[in-house]
Amino acid sequence: MLKVLKSGFFTTIQDSGRFGYLNKGVPVAGYMDSFSASKLNKLLDNSQDAALMEITMTGPTLLFEEPTYICLGGADISVTLNNNPIEQYKIYKIEKGDIISYGRLKKGFRNYLAIKDGFKSVEVIGSRSFYYPLTDRSHLSDPSELKYESCEDYDAKISELKVDSFLDERVLHVAIGPEFGLLGDRQLEQLFSKDFSVAKEYNRMAYQLEEKIQGHSHSMLTSATLPGTIQLTPSGKLIVLMKDGQTTGGYPRILQLSDKAISILAQKKYGDAISFKLVKT
Amino acid sequence: MSKFSISIRPFGVHAILVEWPNEVDEIILNDILKFKNYLETSCLDVKKWEFVAAYNSITLILRKEPIDFNRLIPRLKQWHGECGESKAKQKYLWRLPVCYDTDFGIDLEEVAEKLSLTISELIKQHTENVYTVYGIGFLPGFMYLGGLPKSLEIPRRSTPRLKVQKGAVGIAGEQTGIYPQESPGGWNIIGNCSVPMFNPKDENPCFVNVGDKVQFYSIERAEYDLYKIEGEVGIYKLEKTEWDA
């Protein structure tokens, strides 16, 4: 068992998400920054479906009751193992009684803690990803416990990865969305010549952007939306749907983020600047 | 051969959107469902692809790899041409119990007054109609139901509520529906359905499919409480009949 002594601001368990229930309105969920999360699972030789801990802004304090191996990455946060600072994308052996403690966030927004063979939180319709109320919890609280399987001797093929940080990247690659054709010259200029910043309303469901563009009066029938879909509201607000985002919507879907762009945006917080660059699909 | 012309276009690298004319029309919905069934049974690997049908569109999603659009778009056109002979999946009519007690129907009196109906006329009209499920989305198990009679059309509440109860039955604009979980919401609440629309513990967590029919029937508070208990212990039996139209 893992004892969650302090849970942090919003700590969840996430795997690669749910498959096969979009037609019943169930969001994909899963790790927001799939770029960092999948690197960590790879480093530990885990399957890409192994569940990691997603740490948001301020992290937890964790007591391990079984030996295992861990590594962490994503947002730049100072983290200690028994009070000794540890590095990102490097495997650490954990002994019974070890304590991992998260400190100050330096850059980015979401950090991932991967564990050998993944966390064993309850599987609900094919995934361990927290998504309330499908799962009983929306995030970890303290004190609480989490299951994982003990691992005594793991012979890692590589013990650390060199990962180029993308936390400073601010250009999001986008493809045209289904309703891109509705945009006029003025809106196109506003979209691609200016910077935008993350508004106060941002979470695992969606990131709203602070700066508006010219609005519209187009009404359309409800249709599918995806993680990374950018919706334009009649008043000109831009809403970027993320992993817990709704599966259908009625606002024009003007742009679609690339996979990498979703990971880049997932590391942004209130006030951070971004811009869009149109690429061909 | 289908009589509708469809538009097929990429929606990012992992999805492709197929659209029919921009209308709420059951004939269109049926053509979509026929095509969907043909794709699922004869054309695409359902272990890799997901299909979201709603109103006048179907979106095909291949999450774990990029789509080869040059190859797929012509094939989709061909498959749509071929699917005329195939059938849509069996549809069902679901009869769902709703308690229109004013404890649940917190806007019932106000709505009746605005629509110049008595409460019992309002309930009668709401339960007489058979609604079509045009989509499922917004929340797990939330149905977009079409077919609300003109006489029950009423705007959304000017200020949305921060909390609408699970099971709340609402009307707004041309739509009616059930909130499958507690959530914020702007619809006018007229009752509560005792059957959970989404149960993550079931293998099939949401019994309704797009294209199915829904009809409500009015129950007393005591029946509501009974069905609720039966639902919790898993002995409540849903009323469904095959729908062939």
Contact A112, A96 (CB under 8 A): no
Residue-wise pLDDT for A196-210, tens only, equals 999 999 999 999 999
Cβ atoms of A151 and A117 closer than 8 Å? yes
> Greater confidence, B107 or B233?
B107
**How far apart are the CA of B33 and the nearest CA of chain A, in angstroms?**
12
CB B139 to CB A256 under 8 A?
no
Domain with CATH 2.40.100.10 in chain A: 171-278
Buried b (16+ CB within 10 A) or exposed e, A23-33: bbbbbbbbbbb
Two structure tokens written together for B214:
């829904």
Contact (CB, 8 A) for B224 and B76 = no
CATH 3.30.1360.40 domain range(s) in chain B: 7-85
The reply to whether residue A19 touches residue B56, judged by beta carbons under 8 angstroms, is no
A110 closest CA partner among A165, A31, A41: A31
Q: Which residues of B177-210 are buried (b: 16+ CB within 10 A; e: fewer)?
A: bbbbbebebebbbbbbbbbbbbbbeeeebbbbbb
The residue type found at A162 is K
ipTM value: 0.94
> Rounded to whole angstroms, how far apart are CA atoms A276 and A261?
9
Beta carbons of A23 and B210 less than 8 Å apart = yes
What torsion do the CA atoms of A71, A75, A77, A81 make, to the nearest 10 degrees? Answer: -10
Task: Look up the CATH superfamily of A171-278.
Answer: Cyclophilin-like (2.40.100.10)
Task: Give the span between the Cα atoms of A84 and A101, in whole angstroms.
Answer: 10
What's the confidence (pLDDT) of residue B98? 97
The CATH 2.40.100.10 portion of chain B extends over 91-243
The predicted pLDDT at position A155 comes to 87
* Cα A219 from Cα A213, distance rounded (Å): 17
pLDDT, position A189:
97
The string of pLDDT tens digits covering residues B176-208 is 999 999 999 899 999 999 999 999 988 899 999
Does B52 touch chain A if contact means CB atoms closer than 8 Å? yes
Q: Give me the helix-helix angle, B69-82 and B26-38, nearest 10°.
A: 120
B-interface mutation test, from A15, A16, A19, A24, most B Cβ less than 10 A away: A24
Superfamily name and number for B91-243: Cyclophilin-like (2.40.100.10)
Taking a C-beta distance cutoff of 8 angstroms, is the pair A118, A13 a contact?
no
Q: What is the mean pLDDT of residues A186-192?
A: 97
Q: How far apart are the first and last CA of chain B?
A: 19
| Residue with the two structure tokens 């026929």 | B34
**Residue in A25, A124, A221 nearest the CB of B136:** A25
Task: Report the C-alpha gap between B187 and B147 in whole angstroms.
Answer: 16
**Whole-structure pTM value:** 0.94
Q: What is the mean pLDDT of chain B?
A: 93
**Chain B residues within an 8 Å CB radius of A133:** 181-182
- CA A14 to chain B, closest CA, distance in angstroms equals 17
- The third-level CATH classification (topology) of the domain covering B7-85 is Gyrase A; domain 2 (3.30.1360)
Q: Which tens digits make up the pLDDT trace of B141-187?
A: 999 999 999 999 999 888 889 999 999 999 998 899 999 999 998 99
Is 1.10.3470 the CATH classification of the domain at A2-146?
no
Amino acid letter, B187: W
State residue B2's pLDDT score: 58
